[in-house]
Amino acid sequence: MNNENSFKIKAENLSCFTQSVKLLYTGDGDNSIGQYKNDRALKQLDMNSSNWGGSFLDSSGQVWVADGKTLPHAFNAAINVVIRYVSVATLYTTNLTSNVGEAIDAFFIRIAQDMSSQLGGNDLDGASPMGVKMYYATPTELKMIPSQFQNVFGSFYAIQDLAIPTTSFPATSFGANQYPLAFYLTHPDGWGIDVIVSDATNNDYNELVNSLLNQKFFINKIRKYSSNYVQIQEPLLLKKYDLAGFEKQLVDTTVIDPYQYQTVLDYKADVVINGQTYLQLDILAGDFITLTIYYDTGAGVVGYEQITELDNILREQGIDGLNKQDEQELEEAFMNFSGFNAKKDEALKLAVIGLITYLALKD
């Protein structure tokens, strides 16, 4: 009988900086489930690649072609961008021109640095550094949408409009606020980065994480998906911590074929996810990743139903089943399996196999 189930989590980083995020995390700090909120306003400007001149390079340095799959990586021409924003009562202007061959996210980092230098620090009055969201709206239309988060309350910062004079894209105001559920995280360089996280299966990430406090999932496989093959190459860390703060970790060492365009990569996990085990990975600038987590409800982690079922069958056939000591040893073996200690887990597996064999031979 196939007991495999799955749930899906999506994490999206709209900023121009790569940001680390913890998923399924119930501990303290920025990523704690208590900090999963929608109290930050997202401002976006609807544009496509033609507004930027349509002249880009792909990640290999070749002229980018809108093929419905690959995303542009760098500029193939000098693009002048003018952004206006208000802090308190002062209007500021950022006027920068991209360099030929400059990576898109690197250009937005320069924009953020220019804003920061005018406002006096990396916090931008509580706003995130601007980034650009890229995706195909149709097989031939690539959306390139500037995005920025800002505080809802107590902020005197507001982005106004953006123009690209070199392509005759007029000064255009950012759209109405959105309020996605996200984590407001701190980048090592001091920037505040918002990472949008959602439970793509049941649309309630908060409930999903809290449910882990009361049960365990034996993870068979984690499938990574992104429209950017570079994103799925980012290693996935599985971390386990105890109440004293001690951590163990497993590193996803799955490799991608460098000669094949891939957007899906499977990681064979064989690990227990619970309230003290979580996933950590870097979300690249302006990118997203979806993790489909396949777990087995019959693997003996939440309980040891399969073995007790066998025990009942043996009893019905007149064969003595488990005594209290057998039950205790078997339950401890199942409940202590984690996937983080290969030597110990192998011993637990042998103990379980031994007990099953003992049951089968018992008369």
pLDDT of residue 19: 96
**Mind listing the pLDDT tens digit for each residue in 181-193?**
999 999 999 999 9
Q: What is the pLDDT of residues 148-158, one digit of tens each?
A: 999 987 778 99
Q: How many residues does the chain have?
A: 363
Among 296, 322, 349, the domain-final residue is: 296
Please give the average per-residue pLDDT across 7-28, as a whole number.
92
pLDDT at residue 334, rounded to an integer: 47
- Whether residues 46 and 150 fall in one domain: yes
Whether 57 and 168 map to the same domain: the answer is: yes
* Domain membership flag for residue 183: no
**Euclidean distance between CA atoms 111 and 105, whole angstroms:** 10
Question: What pLDDT is stored for residue 337 in this prediction?
Answer: 44
The domain that holds 208 is classified in CATH as 2.60.120
Q: Are 78 and 136 in a shared domain? A: yes
Asked whether residue 190 is assigned to any structural domain, the reply reads no
Q: Give the range among 54-68, 108-122, 191-205, 314-328 with minimum mean pLDDT.
A: 314-328
In a domain, 184, yes or no: no
pLDDT > 90: what percent of the chain?
46
pLDDT band at 325 (very low <50, low <70, confident <90, very high): low
Residues 24-37: pLDDT tens digits? 888 888 888 889 99
Range in 5-19, 118-132, 228-242 the model is least confident about = 228-242
For the record, the structure tokens of 353 come out as 């196999």
- Give the structural domain span for 89: 39-178
Going by C-alpha positions, the residue among 280, 288, 173 that lies closest to residue 235 is 280
Classify residue 275 by burial, with Cβ atoms within 10 Å: 0-12, 13-18, 19+.
middle
Contact call for residues 237 and 252 (beta carbons, < 8 A):
yes
Q: What is the pLDDT of residues 288-317, one digit of tens each?
A: 999 998 887 554 433 344 445 555 655 665
Q: What is the pLDDT of residues 199-234, one digit of tens each?
A: 988 778 998 888 777 777 777 788 888 888 888 888
What is the pLDDT of the chain when averaged over all its residues? 80
DSSP 304: -
Report the candidate in 282, 185, 279, 195 with the shortest Cα–Cα distance to residue 231.
282
User: In 3D, which of 37, 14, 28, 38 has the Cα closest to residue 278?
Assistant: 28
Does residue 131 sit in the same domain as residue 246?
no
The residue-averaged pLDDT of 329-335 equals 52
How many domains does the chain divide into?
Answer: 3
Tell me, yes or no, whether 111 lies in a domain.
Answer: yes
Domain shared by 14 and 43, yes or no: no
Predicted model pTM? 0.78
Query: Which of 133, 127, 132 has its CA nearest to residue 115?
Result: 127
Residue bearing the bigger pLDDT, 292 or 264: 292
List alpha helices for the chain, DSSP H.
104-119, 205-211, 229-232, 305-316, 324-336, 342-361
Last residue of a domain, one of 151, 178, 205: 178
Identify whether residues 77 and 17 lie together within a single domain: no
Triad 78, 83, 85: Cα angle to 5°: 165
Question: Is 157 within a domain?
Answer: yes
Residue 51, pLDDT score: 96
- Beta strands 90-97 and 237-241 are unpaired
Is a pLDDT exceeding 70 seen at residue 327? no
Q: How many CA atoms lie within 13 A of 361 on its CB side?
A: 6
pLDDT greater at residue 73 or residue 347? 73
Average pLDDT over residues 230-241: 82
Q: Which is it for the CA torsion 63, 68, 70, 76, positive or negative?
A: positive
Which tokens sit at 223? 């499938």
CA distance 29 to 33: 9
Q: Is residue 285 domain-shared with residue 201, that is, in the same domain?
A: yes
Identify the residue with better confidence: 267 or 217.
Answer: 217
Q: Name the percent of the chain lying above pLDDT 70.
A: 71
Do 257 and 287 sit in the same domain of this protein? yes
**pLDDT tens digits, one per residue of 108-147:** 999 999 999 999 889 888 899 999 999 999 999 999 999 9
Which residues partner with 277 through β-bridges?
240
pLDDT of 198 reads 93
What are the φ/ψ torsions at residue 22 (nearest 5 degrees)? -100, 130
